[in-house]
């Protein structure tokens, strides 16, 4: 394909090439496909402002496969974009870069650190950038490299390179150095020495995190990421003078000025978990015999930073009150960790010698490294008093084994919690060789027998402190809607994700249209659950408009006189429909699968344009109509259906048993003369659509047709006149443009198709909806209630031998000692991300779940629980903040953990609408019904 390379300069500075929007889209899509087939480490990508990129997508009229049209989370988007925008100006990345100060960043513009991909910027391959830059110029160019992250070598574009603040002990100056986190320490030394003009053998660079010297960064192939260097942290340069270290300048370990002397890292005599000392980084000295009594020692600098000693913690030393430093949007991690390190069974386990249980051979685990890193971090938090701990080494391990949590973006604390619990279990699994079991169907056997059998199978393959304390079992019942086949299984769970049922409603106004022309359109206002789904809205409308049993409603959004999107998935959430949108519903016959759907858009000819070059331009107006065709063969069939669906709009003066048009009248002209023609210039009919390519119908071939109609494509950019003999190919849906002439203005009352009401028109006196409050029990009941599986989650019925949309019912069967509830505050759909700030009223003491547990085994422990930790989320999506409330059991006091800051909290203050993950521990219930202390962790068999 030859791409034109000549163009001319526009007034706005861009280069306009002889290339249509459709050709631009095709060229870029080919370049995207080529780049996708050649993904490899080291490829260059460019960052482009999403603000400019959205304008360009609107111009070409469609989103590209690799770059979904993704506006702000509160916006809803269609699968196709209306091509109504003009050509954008030069590429403008000014809104995503840090403002230059005295031209400091002119040569090296830096991205704003809080940017999010999709919301603020998109990444395009080098070939795509070069083509867009050729067409539009502008910038600045923001190239980034693709790197592999984690042990799985997952490819990712490094949008934010590592920034290090270099401090020079000679003159106390500092300089920002930017380089990839995959760069080696050799490369770091090379850059620093070149920048400072010194010989590499005379330089010594220290890890200077928190302005404290930790370890010397020895020039090697070890990466900066592997050295636990963090974004925006400090490094310290020492320069030897004639073989001696400088004196008179420098800082001590607290950052105070004093003579700098060699400071060797303090060696710790404390072993980890009672075993041999090891580096939390599992550095080059790590070997397979590390747990077999090796004498490998660990330096202070290799361990987690920010503590004063490595003394074993004892509960009499006020342990457990240390905060965790925020390393850059790591509050989600800090919140989850604080909840876990205040889980009594885990505290007792990791403060003891657990090294014998580390499973390094488990292919599903992380060679024991994750468990070791977590155990070391827990010990530091319980032994450092109130001094905050910087979990650098732990974050490095997390990035290795879970690349999705690497970098410095905000993540979900519950997703991290799920990964940690599963990873800790696999690293600590006592089962080295997992036996194989063939599960059997229940076949009418007693539930107790089947549940115990499956639990034994599970424990034979999974045996760890996590299973001992955190895993329970629930019963799952599936029923086939056709043959009534019942399938019962018993599955383990680590936590329960509870939906938040809503009791708040919203009113929605929808205009209902008759697809068969049997009535005028009518708006209906219905009340639905605020957090309901499309099915709820359709059911409310069916009742309001008295829908016949042989009909169904097709819901759609109308935007700029087009059908913007159809709501054909009944499970789509109503939150995707905003109050200022225009929603319509079309009454269609249920046998629509045997019919062809016909979508009719309306155009008019604008005669008021002064510019002669645009005179006669056709624009969209009115509301599209949807009707149906039965076995359409030619243009007459379409013409007849259009006439039928418009019939309710016919003005009374023209309603006559006589045919509306005389046979042979040119272009279907009306038989009677219009006395007072309507001037279309006086009617405000909508927005311009320059993308329409109207072709005047051939006059002779259109005789006998009542309307000027054109078949169009999905985007409405190509029109083919519909004449009497036009052959109609079989299709599920046809789209036509109806061009209104003076005849249609006189014959039909267009007012019924104008000015659609908004979904909800808020008045000045509208009352604010009170914050709803629901109980934890109602959330649990919503989780356990019977409901049909979704259309994307069909069940293969062994009776029918077909996939069926079965009904599913969950029941709790066996509860763990530590019970975790995840409140599903975040909802995601194709078009929307949403957070629910619903206040959930959860018990702090005496949470009794007895009535929800179906296992009636008398030997089962009590079902009464006490709250001991909460992971909180404040704010909205992307920009929120996580904290934790944790209870020190021995002190019987609550504390608030907000990253490094730890403060006492009153029990009455811990119930908030920010509660996201709840942690409960089982308590004993004595025979007299009095709640006792926590139950002991036990290993069920």
Catalytic (active-site) positions: 331, 881
How far is residue 237's CA from residue 251's CA, in Å, rounded to a whole number? 11
Q: Residue 489: which of 504, 474, 502 has the closest Cα?
A: 474
327 in Cβ contact with 286 (< 8 Å): no
How far, in Å, CA of 718 to CA of 699, rounded? 20
Q: Which of 682, 672, 626, 625 is nearest to 651 (CA)?
A: 672
Handedness of CA 759, 764, 767, 772 (dihedral sign): positive
Contact assessment for residue 454 and residue 439, using Cβ atoms and an 8 Å cutoff: yes
Distance of alpha carbon 534 from alpha carbon 585, whole angstroms: 12
- Largest Cα–Cα distance in the chain? 112
From CA 264, how far away is CA 547, in angstroms rounded? 83
Contact 260, 238 (CB under 8 A): yes
Judge whether 233 and 188 are in contact, CB under 8 Å. Answer: no
Cβ contact 502:769 at 8 Å: no
Long-range contacts of 217-220 (CB under 8 A, 24+ apart): 217/185, 217/188, 218/185, 219/185, 219/186, 219/188, 219/189, 220/184, 220/185, 220/186
Question: What angle, 0 to 180 degrees and rounded to 10, lies between the N-to-C axes of helices 331-341 and 392-401?
Answer: 100
> Token pair of 594, please?
């045997």
Residue 2: exposure state from Cβ atoms within 10 A (0-12, 13-18, ≥19): exposed
DSSP H or E stretch at residue 460 = helix 447-461
Instruction: Name 429's Cβ contacts closer than 8 Å, sequence gap at least 6.
Output: 359, 362, 365, 462, 463, 464
> Which residue pairs from 667-670 have beta carbons closer than 8 angstroms and sit at least 24 positions apart in sequence?
667/697, 667/699, 667/702, 667/703, 667/705, 667/708, 668/702, 668/704, 668/705, 668/706, 668/707, 668/743, 669/743, 670/743, 670/746, 670/747
Contact 569, 605 (CB under 8 A): no
| 479 contacts 807 by C-beta, under 8 angstroms | yes
- Do 603 and 597 contact (CB within 8 A), yes or no? no
Q: Are 405 and 330 in contact (CB under 8 A)?
A: no
Tokens of 677: 């023609």
Distance CA 108, CA 937 (A): 57
Residues whose CB is less than 8 angstroms from the CB of residue 644 and which lie 6 or more positions away in sequence, other chains included = 516, 517, 627
CA-closest candidate to residue 229, choices 327, 375, 335: 327
Q: Cα 296 vs. chain centroid, distance in angstroms?
A: 43
Compute the distance between CA of residue 398 and CA of residue 225 in angstroms, rounded to an integer: 12
């Amino acid at each position: 394909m030859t791409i034109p390379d000549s163009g001319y300069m526009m007034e706005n500075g861009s280069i306009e090439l002889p290339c249509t929007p459709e050709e631009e889209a095709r060229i870029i899509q080919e370049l995207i496909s080529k780049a996708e087939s050649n993904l490899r480490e080291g490829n260059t990508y460019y960052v482009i402002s999403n603000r400019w990129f959205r304008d360009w997508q609107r111009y070409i009229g469609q989103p590209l496969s690799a770059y979904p049209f993704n506006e702000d989370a509160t916006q809803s988007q269609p699968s196709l974009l209306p091509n109504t925008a003009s050509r954008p100006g030069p590429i403008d990345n000014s809104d995503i870069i840090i403002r230059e100060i005295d031209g400091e960043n002119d040569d090296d513009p830096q991205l704003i650190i809080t940017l999010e991909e999709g919301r603020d910027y998109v990444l395009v391959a080098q070939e795509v950038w070069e083509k867009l830059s050729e067409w539009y110029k502008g910038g600045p160019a923001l190239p980034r490299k693709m790197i592999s992250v984690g042990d799985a070598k997952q490819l990712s574009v490094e949008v934010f390179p590592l920034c290090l603040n270099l401090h020079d002990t000679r003159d106390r100056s500092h300089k920002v150095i930017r380089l990839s986190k995959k760069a080696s320490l050799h490369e770091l030394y090379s850059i620093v020495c070149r920048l400072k003009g010194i010989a590499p053998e005379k330089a010594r660079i220290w890890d200077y995190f928190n302005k404290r010297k930790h370890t010397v960064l020895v020039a090697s192939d070890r990466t900066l990421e592997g050295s636990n260097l963090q974004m925006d942290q400090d490094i310290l340069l020492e320069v030897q003078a004639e073989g001696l270290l400088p004196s008179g300048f420098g800082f001590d370990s607290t950052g105070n000025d004093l003579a700098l002397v060699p400071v060797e890292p303090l060696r710790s005599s404390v072993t980890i978990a009672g075993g041999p000392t090891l580096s939390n980084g599992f550095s080059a000295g790590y070997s397979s015999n590390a747990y077999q009594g090796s004498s490998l020692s660990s330096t202070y600098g290799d361990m987690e930073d920010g503590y004063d000693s490595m003394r074993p913690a004892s509960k009499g030393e006020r342990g457990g009150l240390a905060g965790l430093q925020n390393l850059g949007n790591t509050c989600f991690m800090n919140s989850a960790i604080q909840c876990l390190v205040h889980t009594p069974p885990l505290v007792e386990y990791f403060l003891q010698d657990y090294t014998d249980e580390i499973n390094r051979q488990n292919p599903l685990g992380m060679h024991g490294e994750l468990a070791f890193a977590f155990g070391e971090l827990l010990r530091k938090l319980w032994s450092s008093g109130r001094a905050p701990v910087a979990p650098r080494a732990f974050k490095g391990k997390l990035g290795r084994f879970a690349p999705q949590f690497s970098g410095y973006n905000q993540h979900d604390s519950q997703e991290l919690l799920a990964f940690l619990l599963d990873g800790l279990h696999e690293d600590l699994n006592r089962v080295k060789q997992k036996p194989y079991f063939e599960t059997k169907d229940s076949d009418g056997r007693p539930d107790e027998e089947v549940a115990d059998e499956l639990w034994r199978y599970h424990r034979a393959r999974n045996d760890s402190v996590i299973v001992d304390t955190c895993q329970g079992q629930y019963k799952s019942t599936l029923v086939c809607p056709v043959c009534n086949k019942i399938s019962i299984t018993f599955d383990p769970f680590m936590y329960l994700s509870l939906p938040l049922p809503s009791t708040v409603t919203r009113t929605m106004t929808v205009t209902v249209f008759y697809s068969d022309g049997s009535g005028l359109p009518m708006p209906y206002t219905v009340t639905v659950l605020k957090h309901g789904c499309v099915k709820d809205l359709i059911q409310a409308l069916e009742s309001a408009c008295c829908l016949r049993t042989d009909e169904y409603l097709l819901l759609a959004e109308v935007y700029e006189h087009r059908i913007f999107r159809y709501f054909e998935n009944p499970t789509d959430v109503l939150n995707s429909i905003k109050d200022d949108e225009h929603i319509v519903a079309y009454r269609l016959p249920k046998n629509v699968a045997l019919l062809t759907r016909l979508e009719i858009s309306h155009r008019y000819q604008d005669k008021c344009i002064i510019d002669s070059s645009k005179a006669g331009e056709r624009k969209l107006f009115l509301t599209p109509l949807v009707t149906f065709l039965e076995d359409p063969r030619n243009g007459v069939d379409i013409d007849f259906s259009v006439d039928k669906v418009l019939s309710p709009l016919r003005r009374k003066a023209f309603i006559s048993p006589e045919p509306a048009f005389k046979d042979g009248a040119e272009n279907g002209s009306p038989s009677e003369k219009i006395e007072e023609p309507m001037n279309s210039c006086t009617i405000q009919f909508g927005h311009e659509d320059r993308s329409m390519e109207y072709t005047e119908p051939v006059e002779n071939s259109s005789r006998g047709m009542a309307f000027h109609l054109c078949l169009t494509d999905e985007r409405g950019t190509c029109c083919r006149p519909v004449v009497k003999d036009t052959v109609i190919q079989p299709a599920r849906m046809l789209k036509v443009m109806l061009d209104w002439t003076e005849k249609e203005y006189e014959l039909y009352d267009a007012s019924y198709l104008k000015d659609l009401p908004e979904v909800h028109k808020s008045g000045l006196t509208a009352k604010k909806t009170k914050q709803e409050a629901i109980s934890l029990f109602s959330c649990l009941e919503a989780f356990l209630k019977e409901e049909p599986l979704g259309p994307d989650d069909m069940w293969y019925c062994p009776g029918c031998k077909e996939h069926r949309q079965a009904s599913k019912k969950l029941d709790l069967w066996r509860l763990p000692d530590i019970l975790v509830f995840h409140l599903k505050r975040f909802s995601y759909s194709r078009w929307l991300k949403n957070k629910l700030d619903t206040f959930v009223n959860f018990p702090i003491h005496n949470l009794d779940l007895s009535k929800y547990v179906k296992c009636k085994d008398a030997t089962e422990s009590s079902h009464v629980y006490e709250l001991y930790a909460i992971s909180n989320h404040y704010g909205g999506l992307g920009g929120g903040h996580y904290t934790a409330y944790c209870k020190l059991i021995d002190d019987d006091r609550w504390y608030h953990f907000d990253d490094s800051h730890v403060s006492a909290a009153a029990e009455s203050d811990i119930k908030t609408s920010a509660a996201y993950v709840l942690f409960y521990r089982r308590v004993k219930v004595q025979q007299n019904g009095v709640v006792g202390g926590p139950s002991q962790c036990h290993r069920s068999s």
